[in-house]
Amino acid sequence: MISVEKLLKRVAQALVDDEFVLFDRSFHINSLNDGLSAIAMVQPQITSQTKDINLVAGQWKVNLPADGFKLLSVNHCGGYGIEPVGLEQLNHLHPDWRRQTDERPENWIVNPNDEKSFFVFPAPESAVSIEIDYSRNMSVSDETESIDINEMYEQLLFDFMMYRAYSRDGQAEAQQAKAASHFQVFQSMLGVKQ
């Protein structure tokens, strides 16, 4: 867990703005939320969560939880593994797959048109539970909150927030250079090729 308050203070100290005069807390919180979104888009496993989802009889389309950004994997159904399969392949081999049912799903399919849902095949004959891993859309609204990701990623968020602050204040060449440096560190730590 990363303390938002601690991170905001760390950024403010680095900017020599302990009283949040140059950059108010809301600016830093917005920058933090943008950093969380960027992290989730590039490395979705960083914001991953494992959760059980209950399916009803005949259900083949499954929605991610409300905080879901992207499905990472479907792990199992009652201890039985579920294999990924491509939608095109499934449509070719089983054109009526949406109407087929069995004791439990054997395959999961990425929904190519919606990252917030996925399909299972065959649909269960009765209610079952499946375990999924998904990337969360994370945000904070005030500094009393904590961010539910590993503390080792605090440096990533710090560098993104510093980049945003120096970019906003970047009229001078030195500020622009500092912004570019922090953004380069952020990208490098995320594994983005430059």
Per-residue pLDDT reduced to its tens digit, 29-48: 999 999 999 999 999 999 99
CB 28 within 8 A of CB 4: no
Domain that holds residue 78: 48-136
**Does the pLDDT at position 3 exceed 70?**
yes
pLDDT surpassing 70 at residue 78: yes
**How far is 15 from 120, CA to CA, in rounded Å?**
50
Of residues 176 and 157, which shows the higher confidence score?
Answer: 157
* Calpha distance 83→152 (Å, rounded): 32
Within a domain: residue 111? yes
* Within a domain: 143: no
Mean pLDDT, to the nearest integer, of 131-144? 95
Buried-exposed string 32-43: b where 16+ CB fall within 10 A, e elsewhere: bbebbebbbeeb
Are 52 and 130 in a shared domain? yes
Is 181 part of a structural domain of the chain?
A: yes
Please tell me the predicted confidence (pLDDT) of residue 25: 94
Task: State whether 61 and 91 are in the same domain.
Answer: yes
Tally of structural domains, the chain:
2
What is the average pLDDT score of the chain?
93
Task: Verify that 90 and 121 share a domain, yes or no.
Answer: yes
Cα gap 141→118, rounded to integer Å: 29
Whether residues 173 and 124 fall in one domain: no
Same domain, 15 and 86: no
Contact of 67 with 137, CB cutoff 8 Å: yes
The band of 82, judged by pLDDT with boundaries at 50, 70 and 90, is very high
